[in-house]
Chain A
Amino acid sequence: MRYLPLTEADRKAMLKRIGAKDIDALFVDVPPEARLDSSDRPVDLPRRRSELEVERTLTRMAGRNVSAGAVPFFVGAGAYKHHVPATVDHLIQRSEFLTAYTPYQPEVSQGTLQYLFEFQTQVALLTGMEVANASMYDGSTGCGEAVLMAERVTKRRKAVLSGGLHPQYRAVVENLSHFGGSTVHALPPAINGEEDIVSAIDSETACVVVQTPNVYGSLTDLEPIARAAHENGALLIAVVTEVVSLGAVRSPGEMGADIVVAEGQSLGVGLSFGGPYVGLFATREKFLRQMPGRLAGETVDGEGKRGYVLTLSTREQHIRRERATSNICTNSGLCCLAFTIHLSLLGEKGFRDLARLNHHNACLLADRLSGVKGVEVLTPAFFNEFTIRTPKPGAEVVEALAEKGILGGVPVSRLEPTADAFGDLIVVASTEVNTDEDRDAYQTALKEVLA
């Protein structure tokens, strides 16, 4: 087997050194009635295969999927198709990054620790916050952790969720809250961003969770919500699933958010059918010790030379065990690196231009689609994503578009299957990857589908 260096002679010599008669002697503690036989197929699975054969099988499987880059592509709702510079993928495959463990021995992990420190700084700058951690699994689990953190800070047990929060993020929060014994008050879906969330905040509210742009694309001014939350002693958690929007719209920190969680997939990471992604998590310095997740911090060695270590681990499970702030053990290291490299390549200018181009393309697309008979754009203020109403059920339209080779968006019925009133809605995203030809193709296909 090509991955196993021991030869049969090695194995024999080693068993001899150990003083074991055969390999079975090393497994004596396995109860006899639970031992598998020593045939070629101890379990009913195929035998080993060559690299060529495995590659062939997987390539065939991959070939049964329609990849985003192969078609006019407008799918978003929490994950976005962006161009990732070739440099990013080359660098994250450097052995020293790819095949390193968590940087527990800092003297031989300065590469990882320094990029995590750079990542934390970039995330704090983007979100307009004071501190950020070294990432969460993804945006949705980060959102769940933010609610738990707000409950620790306020010592209250109720979360108010905006109807614009991604329904799968809502489900994550509801699930955690159910098992953790706290309460969730989720507002009904708010397609055009209009909802009265302020009157849902009371003196028992730990946090208000508001996504902007929301899952239907609508931008929200967080300032009045932040004010109302703070008047009631609650925290405002801002959720951003399209991090590129932060290049064009005011940061949640500027608008008064106390915790910002974001999905960082748009920068560096790629679509990958939903994972792995990278959760961004930022907050005010005063809440630092209630923040979950790993942190890289700056310090010095004996000669006063600057270096980085994992720090404040007294919050974490491997020290505090059942008293930890969270059970989280890993972060999303390599995706942080991809994020940080992509953002370093963009820089201020590139990032803001990228955001402008995304918004521009979405505006052009909205104009095109609203020109199709019977189609209405419902989102008054958007960044790179909006919701349309069509005269036919959204799921049917999206499926018919796919048959014509256009991936045209996400039917709201997939996100909110019980909301019958929204069966004719589609969430449509457009990024820098879309061209005039893509928009032409979409408009034409949509006309045909609706004819």
Chain B
Amino acid sequence: MMNREGRATAPTAQGSEGAVATFTGNRGLDIEEPLIFEVGSGEVTGVDIDLPEAPENRLGALARKQGIGLPGLSEPEAMRHYVRLSRKNYAIDLGIYPLGSCTMKHNPRLNEKAVRLAGFGDIHPLQPESTVQGALELIDTLAHWLKTLTGLPAVAMSPKAGAHGELCGMMAIRAALEARGEPRSIVLVPESAHGTNPATAAYLGYKVVSVPAREDGTVDPEAVKERLSEDVAAIMLTNPNTCGLFEPDVRAIAEAVHEVGAYFYCDGANFNAIMGRTRPGDLGVDAMHINLHKTFSTPHGGGGPGAGPVVLSEALAPFAPLPFVVHGADGFRLVESLDDDAAGEAFGRMTAFHGQMGMFVRALAYMMSHGADGLRQAAEDAVLNANYVRACLKDTFSLPYNHDRPCMHEVLFDDSFLKGTGVSTLDFAKAMIDEGFHPMTVYFPLVVHGAMLIEPTESESKASLDQFVATLRRLADAAREGDTERFTGAPRYTPVGRLDETRAARHPILRWTPEQNASQAAE
């Protein structure tokens, strides 16, 4: 999660003093790699296909006559192309990836092995149910773990990502209100919320009313009460919130919301901090999505795929969407149609098929490995690591809130420690890249100026954190000592320097074209 509004980067020159330009443009292990369209050929293929001499063709007038223009690569060429590209990426397997609100934790390879078992990876969503009993058992087992951990009685498994889960949860709320004959028109969203929250509420036709944060970064139940009425459908509250704080008045807020007949939607992006320590069901939550790709370590894969099951309270459970797994006389069975007697008041369908099975397998492997005790330990270590970073940096960096309340799994700083240095939050982030670290989340949440949100996760050792905070302290000192160029010229040791994002947006080039390639060759 990151916000870059109004902070498109300006390009910077790269290369250190005295560097010698190479003839190839390569720099040792950093190898230039063109696009496949510039190296592949339509005649080359990396897949041998035995086509009969006279294949049947009954396509008639609909047969393709035009070429497509796809380049092909032999297997060794393809291997080299993508391995070279891979080396231009930072990754959790390379080092700390402290993006706040993203929970970049270790991705165990047992999970990858399990998902590739033929009995999970090579089964079709519409095979007869009698041939997928193990798959349905897995979904049912994962559902049980999620319900037990959250203390809520139902879960909709099909949403494909966190934002999709949000949409699902809010649809369940809307369906419940429609069933009560009072659709309502307002959703309350604290200003520190993820952008997906207001986008989701707005999609469903709700008017979004913002709730300001208190001076300590938490939501004031009085501010909520002032905005509550019989026309409020729900509040969408992130807890722990995006400032890394547990909302201390969460139960009072839930009670007030329920008093006017509204529902409490909890953004569960930060569940990693509290699993095994408290259950959202005991906090008054009616619906909460769980990002399996954050809390339960299914790999982020460069931006997806994710998975966002939604746990639901008793009040919302009947409205859970299709499909869901039930125990029938002959084992497990899927309820896939609104005409099924078991469908009840299901509101409809979020997606074709049954959800992100590949993510379910990984998440269950992760949860079983930890067990109830290990999950709580993971939450505690995540919170401990964040508080340790906070303790090690609080005299150097600036904390936006003047209190000693502990943070949860992430710690929020603002940019006041950089005031007058000529170094911005973005510059600071880019200098971290040169030091070999992925930056923290910057400019989010929007409620503080120049935000820096650090989420180390439980995957970091103390030694790793010590090295990280020592580097950040050195950088903060360098900024204050006027070593501005270190920051404004960063990053220097990356495959490309700071890129011109304004140009990318003003003159969008979103695909390769032969013409563009020809004009570049002519230059």
Instruction: Report the nearest B residue to A276, measured CB to CB.
Output: B305
1/0 per position for A304-327, CB-CB distance to B under 8 A? 011111011110111111111011
Q: Residues of A contacting B138 with CB < 8 Å?
A: 58, 61
- Is A275 touching B459 in the complex (CB atoms < 8 A)? no
The answer to whether B461 touches A297 (Cβ under 8 A) is no
The residue of chain A having its C-beta at the shortest distance from the C-beta of B46 within the complex is: A345
Give Cα distance in the complex from A108 to B99, angstroms.
Answer: 14
B-chain residues with CB within 8 Å of residue A333 when the two chains form the complex: 300-305
User: Contacts A110-B89, A350-B45, A359-B56 given: A322-B202 contact, CB under 8 Å?
Assistant: yes
Find B163's partner among A29, A249, A329 (CB 8 Å cutoff). A329
Among candidates A6, A48, A414, residue contacting B126 with C-beta atoms closer than 8 Å: A414
- CB of A115 within 8 A of CB of B349, answer no
Q: Within the complex, what minimum Cβ distance (angstroms) separates B67 from chain A?
A: 7
CB distance from A58 to the nearest CB of B (A): 5
Could you tell me the distance in whole angstroms from the C-beta of A372 to the nearest C-beta in chain B? 19
A450, CB-defined interface residue at 8 Å: no
Which residue of chain B is the closest to A11 with respect to CB atoms? B384
Report yes or no: A66 in contact with B132, Cβ–Cβ below 8 A. Answer: yes
Q: Take A64-B137, A66-B123, A333-B301 as given contacts and tell me if A25 and B406 are in contact as well, using a CB distance cutoff of 8 Å.
A: yes
Contacts known (A276-B359, A327-B196, A330-B306); A46 close to B117, Cβ less than 8 A: no
B467 close to A (CB within 8 Å)? no
Against A, the Cβ 8 Å flags (1 = close, 0 = not) of B43-58 are: 1111101111001111
Contact for A276 among B94, B200, B356, CB less than 8 A: B356
Pair A275/B357 contact, Cβ less than 8 Å: yes
Is the Cβ of B430 less than 8 Å from the Cβ of A107?
yes
The answer to whether the Cβ of A349 comes within 8 Å of any Cβ in the partner chain is yes
Minimum CB–CB distance for B366 against chain A, Å: 8
Tell me if B78 and A69 are in contact (CB < 8 A): no
Q: Which of A4, A95, A274 contacts B125 (CB 8 A)?
A: A274
Which of A34, A219, A364 is within 8 Å of B62, CB to CB? Answer: A219
CB contact under 8 A between A175 and B37, given known A79-B124, A168-B352: no
Closest to A306 in B: B496
Which residue of A62, A332, A364 contacts B56 across the interface (Cβ within 8 Å)?
A364
**A359-B3 contact in complex given A43-B279, A106-B496, A329-B163, C-beta closer than 8 Å:** no
Q: Is the CB of B406 within 8 A of A20?
A: yes
Cα(A257)–Cα(B91), bound, Å: 39
Q: How many angstroms from the CA of A341 to the CA of B406 in the assembled complex?
A: 46
Give a binary string over B485-523; 1 marks a CB under 8 Å from any A CB, 0 the rest: 000000100111111110111001111100000000000
* Contact between B205 and A101, CB atoms less than 8 A apart: no
Q: Say whether A141 contacts B160, CB under 8 Å.
A: yes
**A109–B279 alpha-carbon span in the complex (Å):** 36
Binds A, one of B68-76, B225-233, B258-266: B68-76
In the bound complex, how far is the Cα of B46 from the Cα of A105, in angstroms? 32
The stretch from A177-185, A200-208, A226-234, A441-449 touching chain B is A177-185
Q: Are B122 and A68 in contact (CB under 8 A)?
A: yes
- How many whole Å from B410's CB to the nearest CB in chain A? 13
| Docked complex Cα distance between A275 and B120 (Å) | 11
Would B160 and A101 count as touching, CB distance under 8 A? no
Q: A91-B79, A359-B58, A410-B126 are in contact. Are A275 and B305 (CB under 8 A)?
A: yes
> Would A55 and B114 count as touching, CB distance under 8 A?
yes
- Expressed in whole angstroms, the Cα–Cα distance for A26 and B411 within the complex equals 13
Contacts A47-B373, A347-B45; A111 near B199 (Cβ below 8 A): no
- Cβ of A354 within 8 Å of any chain B Cβ, yes or no, is yes
The reply to whether the CB of A368 lies closer than 8 angstroms to some CB of chain B is no
A348 within 8 A of B: yes
Report the minimum CB–CB distance from A336 to chain B (whole Å).
Answer: 8
Main SS class of interface, B: loop
Q: Are A36 and B134 in contact (CB under 8 A)?
A: no
What's the least CB distance linking A83 to chain B, in Å?
Answer: 8
Chain A CB within 10 Å — which of B149, B160, B359 has the most? B160
A345 to chain B, nearest CB (A): 4
Taking each of B47, B130, B358, B365, which has the highest tally of chain A beta carbons within 10 Å of its own beta carbon? B47
Interface flags, B366-396, vs A, CB<8A=1, else 0: 0111111110111011011101101110000
Q: Is the CB of A77 within 8 A of B55?
A: no
| Closest beta carbon of chain B to A434's beta carbon, Å | 13
Chain A residues positioned under 8 Å from B83 (CB to CB): 91, 94
Question: Could you tell me the distance between the alpha carbons of A123 and B166 in the complex, rounded to whole angstroms?
Answer: 29
- B151, B274, B355, B374, most chain A CB atoms within 10 A: B374
- Interfacial chain A residues near B102, Cβ < 8 Å: 101
Contacts of B250 in A (CB 8 A): 31
Quick check: is B213 within 8 A (CB to CB) of the other chain? no
Cβ-defined partner of A65 (8 Å) among B59, B120, B251: B120
Is A172 in contact with B350, judged by CB distance below 8 angstroms? yes
Say whether A102 contacts B303, CB under 8 Å. Answer: yes
Q: Contact between B349 and A168 (Cβ–Cβ < 8 Å)? A: yes
Q: Which of B67, B162, B496 contacts A307 (CB 8 A)?
A: B496
- Closest residue of B by beta carbon distance from A57: B368
Given A105-B433, A180-B205: A34 in contact with B302 (beta carbons within 8 A): no
Determine whether the beta carbon of A250 is less than 8 Å from that of B64.
yes
Q: Given A124-B511, A250-B64, A328-B163, A5–B125 Cβ distance below 8 Å?
A: no
Q: Are the CB atoms of B49 and A330 closer together than 8 Å?
A: no
A256 within 8 A of B: no
Q: Are B122 and A344 neighbours in the complex by a CB distance under 8 Å?
A: no
Q: Are A62 and B134 in contact (CB under 8 A)?
A: yes
Identify A114's interface contact among B47, B69, B85, CB under 8 A.
B85
The answer, among A96, A169, A178, for a CB contact under 8 Å with B94, is A96
CB under 8 Å from chain B, chain A span 6-47: 6, 10-11, 13-15, 17-20, 23, 25-31, 33-36, 40-47
Q: How far is the CA of A44 from the CA of B375 in the complex (A)?
A: 12
Q: Are A273 and B85 in contact (CB under 8 A)?
A: no
Q: How does the 8 Å CB contact mask read for A44-86 relative to B, with 1 for contact and 0 for none?
A: 1111110100110111111111111110010101110100010
Q: A107 is contacted by which of B37, B378, B497 (Cβ under 8 Å)?
A: B497
Given A3-B459, A54-B365, A300-B500, A330 contacting B303 (CB threshold 8 A): yes
Q: How far is the CA of A353 from the CA of B86 in the complex (A)?
A: 29
Contact mask for chain A residues 271-288; partner B; CB cutoff 8 A; 1 contact, 0 none: 111111110000000001
Say whether B208 faces chain A, with CB atoms less than 8 Å apart.
yes
B106 to A349, Cβ gap below 8 A?
A: no
Docked-complex contact B55 and A357, CB < 8 angstroms: yes
Q: Nearest 9 A-B pairs (CB), nearest first?
A: A347-B72, A62-B119, A274-B353, A334-B301, A64-B134, A274-B125, A175-B348, A276-B305, A95-B93
Q: List 8 A-B contacts (CB under 8 A).
A: A14-B385, A100-B302, A107-B495, A131-B511, A179-B174, A250-B64, A251-B66, A328-B161
A-B contact sample (18 more), CB < 8 A, given A5-B460, A296-B510: A31-B283, A34-B282, A42-B276, A45-B372, A49-B368, A54-B365, A85-B46, A95-B94, A108-B491, A111-B88, A121-B35, A131-B511, A132-B510, A271-B122, A273-B135, A311-B508, A321-B195, A322-B208
